């Protein structure tokens, strides 16, 4: 039986990853569902570095494949911030506090500086080795009023100009085709299918 463990504690990411990777493995489960309570310190200076750190740490504890992602929001006018600090941008580290800090900082910028992209690094590890890795992005811009209740994190403030909607307004089925994480997981899926 082929099993995949998702090295994340974020329920939004778990939901998205399970939907996109459905059918690739006999079982796709979160660390929590696998009974793994390891806290990996994400102190690398890149998304890829953090994803590799998580995937490798967990893969040394289990006999199956482990996938980890690290992703975040990079705003042009903020010099790429929050970047690798996206999850802990504010002192509180909650979605509400992170979004409040983002809006406060972006409101100081002109419209042309509010371009942004979500970036996602994915690493698949097995037996303590990296088997696959990739990085993908999704471009948009930051708005100052939250729109929509879908998604998580910065999604209600991340506008996709070609859709005229935020990630908070777009149906999950569409987000799971066009987002940074969807693109990276599609590359992972392709790799796993070629291995079969």
Catalytic amino acids?
Answer: 70
User: For residue 50, how far is the Cα from the chain centroid?
Assistant: 12
DSSP H helices, the chain, are: 11-20, 47-59, 95-106, 172-178, 180-195
Label residues 59-78 b or e (16+ Cβ within 10 Å = b): beebebbbbbbbbbbbbbbb
Enter the tokens of residue 103: 């809006």
Q: What is the number of alpha carbons within 13 Å of residue 193 lying toward its C-beta?
A: 9
């Amino acid at each position: 039986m082929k099993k995949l463990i998702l090295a994340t504690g974020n329920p939004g990411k778990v939901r998205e990853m399970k939907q996109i990777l459905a059918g690739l493995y006999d079982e796709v489960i979160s660390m929590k569902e696998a009974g793994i309570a390891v806290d990996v310190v994400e102190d690398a200076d890149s998304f890829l570095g953090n994803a590799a750190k998580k995937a490798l740490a967990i893969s040394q504890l289990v006999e199956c494949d482990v996938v980890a992602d690290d992703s975040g929001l990079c705003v042009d006018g903020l010099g790429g911030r929050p970047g690798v600090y996206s999850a802990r941008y504010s002192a509180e580290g909650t979605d509400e506090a992170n979004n409040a800090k983002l809006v406060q900082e972006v409101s100081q910028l002109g419209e042309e500086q509010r371009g942004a992209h979500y970036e996602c690094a994915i690493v698949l590890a097995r037996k303590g080795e990296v088997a696959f890795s990739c990085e993908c992005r999704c471009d948009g811009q930051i708005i100052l009023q939250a729109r929509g209740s879908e998604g998580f994190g910065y999604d209600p403030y991340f506008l996709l100009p070609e859709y005229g909607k935020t990630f908070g307004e777009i149906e999950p089925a569409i987000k799971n085709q066009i987002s940074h994480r969807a693109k990276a997981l599609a590359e992972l899926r392709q790799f796993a299918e070629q291995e079969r």
